[in-house]
């Protein structure tokens, strides 16, 4: 509970709250901490923040969301305004996919996500919510500042098959590829700099009886082989020809929608 405020300052603060003045503006104008103002704001107007009422059901859709977050997402806490952020970035050429992701996130979490142009060739999808942030962190483990090369799924073996199918889908649609060459052959691959995640992806393929190949691409130059650059090793997994149709039928990656005459 905040300390007692001088009567005049408290009156000015309450006046600002009742008039709809932002907490930031009141804080700067009266030189008060935001937590103090929010304490009184809740007493006067109730909580501004209403938690999204989603339920974790470990469905394929929830697994897909996790795969998308692992592949193209970031989770971070902004100390300056106490925001827990969930952000996903896309290339502008993938705008259609970004709209698709926006829809499934809003449907599952029952929370608004904002899609905007981040820079010349990038789009970002973002929301701020502590409950969603904590929920996702229940599934993901990584070193702060190095998510790309350290990320892995917590307790993967305990998750149901429906969730795992969605996880594969989300990973393929972000850090993977589904393409058709001029020869008509379909190729599916997954690429990551996280050794732990690459091993988990292989485990998933084995579980669903997909035939696969796996190889490691190491940095070639002496400079890039220095200890601090070890994370640039790329772990690649590709689906063998005899498992392609089985993979697409079972996983249904979004990227396979662009392939015409698939069957």
Task: Report if pTM > 0.85.
Answer: no
Q: Is 50 helix (H, G, I), strand (E, B) or coil?
A: coil
What is the average pLDDT across 251-262?
83
> Which residues are CB-neighbours of 229 under 8 A, at least 6 positions away?
219, 223
**Residue 173 pLDDT > 90:** yes
Q: Give the distance, in angstroms, between the CA of residue 113 and the centroid of all CA atoms in the same chain.
A: 12
More confident position, 230 or 201: 201
- Judged by average pLDDT, the poorest of 77-91, 127-141, 143-157, 242-256 is 77-91
Phi, psi dihedrals of residue 193, rounded to the nearest 5°: -100, 5
What letter does residue 182 receive in the DSSP assignment?
A: T
Phi, psi dihedrals of residue 161, rounded to the nearest 5°: -60, -35
Q: Is 124 left (phi over 0), alpha (psi -120 to 50) or beta?
A: beta
CB 85 within 8 A of CB 128: yes
Q: What is the share, in percent, of the chain residues with pLDDT greater than 70? A: 89
Strands 186-192 and 234-239 come out as: antiparallel
Q: Could you tell me which CATH class the domain 60-256 is placed in?
A: alpha beta
- Give the pLDDT confidence of 81-102 residue by residue, as tens digits: 678 899 999 999 999 999 999 9
Domain boundaries, the chain: 7-45, 60-256
Tell me how long the chain is. Answer: 263
The Cα–Cα gap between 245 and 7 comes to 73
């Amino acid at each position: 509970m905040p300390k007692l405020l001088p009567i005049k300052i408290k009156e000015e603060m309450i006046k600002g709250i009742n008039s709809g003045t932002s907490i930031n503006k009141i804080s700067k104008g009266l030189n008060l901490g935001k937590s103090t103002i929010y304490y009184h704001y809740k007493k006067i107007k109730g909580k501004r923040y209403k938690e999204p009422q989603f339920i974790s059901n470990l469905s394929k859709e929830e697994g897909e969301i996790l795969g998308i977050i692992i592949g193209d997402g970031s989770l971070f806490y902004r100390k300056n305004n106490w925001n827990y952020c969930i952000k996903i970035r896309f290339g502008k050429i993938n705008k259609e996919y970004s709209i698709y992701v926006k829809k499934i996130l809003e449907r599952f979490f029952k929370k608004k996500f904002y899609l905007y142009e981040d820079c010349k060739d990038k789009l970002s999808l973002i929301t701020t919510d502590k409950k969603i942030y904590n929920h996702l962190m229940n599934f993901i483990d990584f070193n702060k500042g190095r998510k790309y090369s350290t990320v892995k799924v917590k307790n993967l073996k305990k998750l149901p098959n429906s969730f795992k199918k969605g996880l594969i889908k989300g990973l393929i649609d972000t850090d993977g590829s589904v393409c058709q060459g001029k020869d008509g052959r379909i190729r599916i691959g997954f690429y990551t700099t996280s050794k732990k995640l690459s091993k988990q992806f292989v485990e998933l393929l084995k579980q669903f009886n997909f035939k696969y190949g796996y190889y490691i691409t190491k940095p070639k130059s002496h400079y890039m082989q220095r200890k601090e650059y070890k994370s640039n090793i790329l772990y690649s997994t590709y689906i063998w020809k005899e498992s392609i149709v089985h993979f697409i039928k079972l996983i249904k990656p979004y990227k396979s929608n662009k392939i015409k005459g698939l069957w």
